[in-house]
């Protein structure tokens, strides 16, 4: 059976390729789950509302970094074996921003899964919609996703989607060691070390932040795809101009490969009771902003005498010495 | 609500037949939750030759144990473990199932929650049982799942009011472990396991595990330095102070990112949660992510050049000053008292 040994990432970065195996290995298609997230790493005072909730609109929306790493994994497989890379995101219309970025990096196609009925979904409802979208897109050997998204840090959607697709999962993947026609060998992190698993395809993998360096946008690809539009964006264009007909626009964008396909609840023929808030067993019951202890510490003078009195107190309390 | 059980389950994670600390911590917490709900605490133990481990769970509060003992189950594997739990949860419909927020727990819990369509909340920092009124309906004995959200800027309380089973993962060190003086009588239910062809889709080729030699969790004194130490050179003062007073060295995430210290010594939300007798926070501004990992310390001493640093709000003693000036003074003063 033909097989291919993956090179270490530093060799990859230098542009090494093992062309000799290329034609002998069958093509592998990948679907990559990506998410647009609020940038929670730089939350300033203005973002917090007075009632302690977060004003999402004030937060810049960014591409969840680990999902970019997931896309890089898929693109490397495409580079080595051939095949197709399809990016998928579920989110509001503006999430098509990250899909365009996927196209800039090298994805062949990008789907926007959007519907008001999907709003307010927890991880269970999200994984239901994503799994139905993946089934509809079909024909895949790999599903990739980042380990977790920075807005929730739950790491749940990957495994939940794998369960609904009824395929194995490899979470916390660090490196693909080898790909064969119908299996993959992966090193994954475990508590206190790592393990190497061999898994039959198809498989869903979630990848760690340091597992690969996402490639930069290709300049030509940016030029080619910056005008790519989702159905909703085209509808908006049509609304603003009575001379444009939506069907014609879609036809035109499709023929120029600039159409971002959009899937709604109707397109997916899914059970709406399992989507959005309705389909989410977990609910946010209360939210409070983080209030600090409020108690003032005992001030210790930055002098020898100050230190000595502190040390004496700690020794009396049997905390020190 | 009628028809829901009052059982609280803890999935007991084991490595080479030894329980993970977090599982014992969860049993102690689960004991309290079960008492509040007037329910039963059950441990779920899966592995090979795990009978003695199952018996140990009674010391931490279990009333009953489900044990699945089979040579194919020696190492954790997603497919057989999740299949077993799916079957157990579907059959017995526990009210609450708790998992450690370890890599294993975070691999397993969502798979089981998905199959059984249960609510699942990740990385809870507190769990309580309470009657809840939500959207005009009254619920008895719901599990309040409390966790930081949005990068730690808010604390959210999550509930799963309308499903039979509420699941949560909790990080190691967040709950306290309380061995019982008089454990309940051992009552074990053996659960049969039959290997399934599906399990063969994934095979374990090799596994490497090194138990960390660093044990911050049990250190009575911790001296932690942050980005404010400035240089790796200055960070040596942290080591010197720790050495002088017999403490362990730790750091904030920023100190780890700056290369001052290794990740295994990181205190905070993405590191270790500690509750020592004495904690020094030196050159640490006190972001919520760090405070989440140390604010339960009995006494906290903060040293910072910025008098408005949030770390002072959770500290018992505060020294405003430069660490390179304060630490040598403190060491000298301490040594003089030992004479």
- Phi/psi at A137 (5° precision): -70, -45
Band (pLDDT 50/70/90 cuts) for residue A312 is very high
Task: Choose the closest CB to A43 out of B153, B318, B336.
Answer: B153
Could you give the ipTM of this predicted complex? 0.86
Q: Please check whether residues B91 and B43 belong to one and the same domain.
A: yes
Instruction: Give dist(CA B339, CA B337) in Å, integer.
Output: 5
Share of chain A above pLDDT 70, in %: 86
The shortest C-alpha distance from B48 to chain A (Å) reads 19
Is residue A289 pLDDT above 90, yes or no? no
> CATH 3.40.50.620: does it fit domain A3-274?
yes
> What integer pLDDT is reported at residue A239 of this predicted model?
86
B79 within some domain:
yes
CATH number at residue B59: 3.40.50.620
Spatial contact of B89 and B166, defined as CB atoms under 8 Å apart: no
> What integer pLDDT is reported at residue A34 of this predicted model?
98
Q: Which residues of B touch A281 (CB under 8 A)?
A: 117-119, 160, 162-163
Q: Which residues of A touch B152 (CB under 8 A)?
A: 290
The answer to whether the Cβ–Cβ distance between A302 and B329 falls below 8 Å is yes
> What integer pLDDT is reported at residue A261 of this predicted model?
95
Q: Which residues of A touch B278 (CB under 8 A)?
A: 314, 319-320
Per-residue confidence of chain B (339 residues) as pLDDT tens digits?
A: 457 899 999 999 999 889 999 999 999 999 999 999 999 999 999 999 999 999 999 999 999 999 999 999 999 999 999 999 999 999 999 999 999 999 999 999 999 999 999 999 999 989 999 999 999 999 999 999 999 887 667 789 999 999 999 999 998 888 999 999 999 999 999 999 999 999 999 999 999 998 777 889 889 999 999 999 999 999 999 999 999 999 999 999 999 999 999 988 999 887 888 999 999 999 999 988 898 889 889 999 999 999 999 999 999 999 999 999 999 999 999 999 887
Which of B201, B224, B239 terminates a domain? The answer is B201
Band (pLDDT 50/70/90 cuts) for residue A7 is very low
The shortest C-alpha distance from A101 to chain B (Å) reads 24
Band (pLDDT 50/70/90 cuts) for residue A133 is very high
Q: Please check whether residues B223 and B153 belong to one and the same domain.
A: no
For B292, the closest chain A residue by CA position comes to A290
> What integer pLDDT is reported at residue A11 of this predicted model?
40
Task: Choose the closest CB to B313 out of A122, A285, A293.
Answer: A293
Look over chain A and give the mean of its residue pLDDT values, rounded to a whole number. 88
The answer to whether the Cβ–Cβ distance between B337 and A198 falls below 8 Å is no
The answer to whether the Cβ–Cβ distance between A285 and B319 falls below 8 Å is no
Task: Choose the closest CB to A43 out of B102, B151, B277.
Answer: B151
> Taking residues A156-170, what's their average pLDDT?
98
Share of chain A above pLDDT 90, in %: 73
Q: Give the B window 257-286 contacts with A, CB below 8 Å.
A: 277-278
For A208, the closest chain B residue by CA position comes to B103
**Any A CB within 8 A of B121 CB:** yes
Q: Please check whether residues B333 and B224 belong to one and the same domain.
A: yes
> Taking residues A117-128, what's their average pLDDT?
95
Band (pLDDT 50/70/90 cuts) for residue A24 is low
> What integer pLDDT is reported at residue A54 of this predicted model?
63
Q: Please check whether residues B122 and B260 belong to one and the same domain.
A: no
Q: Please check whether residues B159 and B277 belong to one and the same domain.
A: no
Q: What is the DSSP string of A179-227?
A: EESSEEEEEEEETTEEEEEEEESSEEEEE-GGG--PPPPPHHHHHHHTT
Band (pLDDT 50/70/90 cuts) for residue A222 is very high
Domain boundaries along the sequence of chain A: 3-274
Q: Flag the least confident range among A21-35, A216-230, B18-32, B193-207.
A: A21-35
CATH number at residue B321: 3.40.50.1220
The answer to whether the Cβ–Cβ distance between A198 and B325 falls below 8 Å is no
Question: In terms of C-beta density within 10 A (0-12 exposed, 13-18 middle, 19 or more buried), how is residue A300 classed?
Answer: buried
Which of B144, B174, B201 terminates a domain? The answer is B201
Q: Which residues of B touch A185 (CB under 8 A)?
A: 205
| Number of domains present in the structure of chain B | 2
> What integer pLDDT is reported at residue A52 of this predicted model?
52
- Phi/psi at B298 (5° precision): -65, -45
B2 within some domain:
no
> What integer pLDDT is reported at residue A205 of this predicted model?
98
**Any A CB within 8 A of B245 CB:** yes
B304 within some domain:
yes
Q: Give the B window 136-165 contacts with A, CB below 8 Å.
A: 144-145, 148-163
B249 within some domain:
yes
More confident residue, A178 or B150: A178
Q: Which residues of A touch B338 (CB under 8 A)?
A: 321
The answer to whether the Cβ–Cβ distance between B207 and A320 falls below 8 Å is no
The answer to whether the Cβ–Cβ distance between B329 and A297 falls below 8 Å is no
The answer to whether the Cβ–Cβ distance between A281 and B317 falls below 8 Å is no
More confident residue, B182 or A292: B182
More confident residue, A75 or A48: A75
Q: Please check whether residues B226 and B183 belong to one and the same domain.
A: no
Q: Please check whether residues B31 and B147 belong to one and the same domain.
A: yes
Long-range contacts of B66-69 (CB under 8 A, 24+ apart): B66/B42, B66/B188, B66/B189, B66/B191, B67/B188, B67/B189, B67/B190, B67/B191, B68/B44, B68/B190, B68/B191, B68/B192, B68/B193, B69/B190, B69/B193
> What integer pLDDT is reported at residue B32 of this predicted model?
97
Q: Which residues of A touch B154 (CB under 8 A)?
A: 52-54, 287-290
Say if residue B130 is preceded by a cis peptide, omega within 30 of 0. Answer: no
> What integer pLDDT is reported at residue B155 of this predicted model?
85
What residues make up the domain containing B222?
Answer: 216-338
Q: Which residues of B touch A49 (CB under 8 A)?
A: none
């Amino acid at each position: 059976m033909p097989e291919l040994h993956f090179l270490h990432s530093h060799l990859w970065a230098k542009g090494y390729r093992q062309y000799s195996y290329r034609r002998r290995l069958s093509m592998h298609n990948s679907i990559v789950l990506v998410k647009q997230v609020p940038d929670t790493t730089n939350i300033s005072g203005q973002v917090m509302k007075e009632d302690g909730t977060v004003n999402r609109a004030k937060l810049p929306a960014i591409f969840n970094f680990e999902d970019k790493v997931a896309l890089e994994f898929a693109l490397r497989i495409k580079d080595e074996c051939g095949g197709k890379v399809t990016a998928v995101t579920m989110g509001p219309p503006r999430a098509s921003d990250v899909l365009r970025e996927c196209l800039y990096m090298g994805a062949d196609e990008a789907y926007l899964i959007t519907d008001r009925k999907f709003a307010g979904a927890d991880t269970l409802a999200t994984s239901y919609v994503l799994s139905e979208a993946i089934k509809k897109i079909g024909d895949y050997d790999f599903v990739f996703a980042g380990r977790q998204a920075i807005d929730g840090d739950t790491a749940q959607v990957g495994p939940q989607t794998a369960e609904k697709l009824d395929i194995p999962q490899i979470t916390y993947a660090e490196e693909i060691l080898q790909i064969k026609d119908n299996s993959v060998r992966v090193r994954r992190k475990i508590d206190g070390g790592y393990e190497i698993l061999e898994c039959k395809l198809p498989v869903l993998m979630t990848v760690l932040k340091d597992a690969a360096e996402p490639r930069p946008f290709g300049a030509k690809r940016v030029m080619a795809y910056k005008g790519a539009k989702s159905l909703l964006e085209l509808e908006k264009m049509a609304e603003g101009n009575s001379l444009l007909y939506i069907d014609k626009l879609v036809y035109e964008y499709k023929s120029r490969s600039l159409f971002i396909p959009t899937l709604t609840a109707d397109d997916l023929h899914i059970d709406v009771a399992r989507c959005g808030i309705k389909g989410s067993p977990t609910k946010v019951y209360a939210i409070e902003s983080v209030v600090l202890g409020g108690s003032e510490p005992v001030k210790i003078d930055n002098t020898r005498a100050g230190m000595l009195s502190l040390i004496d107190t700690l020794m009396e309390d049997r905390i020190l010495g | 609500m009628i028809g829901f059980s009052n059982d609280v389950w803890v999935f007991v994670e084991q490595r080479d037949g030894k329980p993970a600390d977090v599982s014992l911590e969860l049993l102690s917490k689960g004991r309290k939750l079960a008492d509040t709900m007037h329910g039963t605490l059950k441990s779920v133990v899966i592995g090979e030759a795990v009978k003695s481990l199952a018996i140990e769970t009674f010391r931490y509060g279990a009333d009953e144990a489900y044990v699945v003992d089979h040579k194919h189950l020696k190492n954790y594997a997603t497919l057989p473990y999740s299949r077993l739990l799916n079957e157990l949860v579907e059959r017995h419909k526990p009210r609450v199932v708790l998992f450690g927020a370890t890599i294993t727990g975070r691999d397993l819990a969502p798979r089981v929650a998905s199959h059984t369509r249960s609510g699942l909340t990740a990385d809870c920092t507190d769990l309580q049982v309470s009657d809840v009124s939500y959207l005009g309906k009254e619920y008895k004995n719901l599990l309040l799942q409390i966790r930081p959200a949005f990068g730690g800027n808010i604390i959210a309380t999550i509930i799963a009011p309308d499903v039979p089973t509420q699941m949560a993962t909790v990080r190691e060190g967040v709950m306290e472990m309380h061995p019982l003086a008089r454990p309940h009588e051992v009552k074990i239910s053996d659960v049969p396991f039959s290997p399934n062809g599906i399990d063969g889709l994934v095979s374990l080729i090799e596994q490497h595990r090194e138990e960390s030699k660093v044990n911050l969790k049990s250190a009575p004194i911790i001296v932690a330095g942050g980005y404010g130490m400035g240089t790796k050179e200055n960070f040596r003062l942290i080591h010197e102070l720790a050495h002088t007073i017999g403490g362990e060295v730790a750091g904030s995430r920023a100190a780890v990112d700056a290369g001052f210290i290794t990740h295994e010594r990181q205190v905070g939300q993405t590191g270790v949660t500690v509750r020592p007798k004495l904690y020094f926070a030196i050159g640490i501004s006190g972001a919520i992510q760090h405070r989440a990992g140390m604010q339960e310390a009995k006494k906290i001493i903060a040293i910072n050049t910025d008098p408005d640093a949030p770390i002072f709000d959770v500290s018992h003693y505060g020294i405003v000053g430069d660490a390179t000036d304060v630490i040598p003074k403190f060491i000298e003063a301490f040594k003089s008292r030992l004479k």
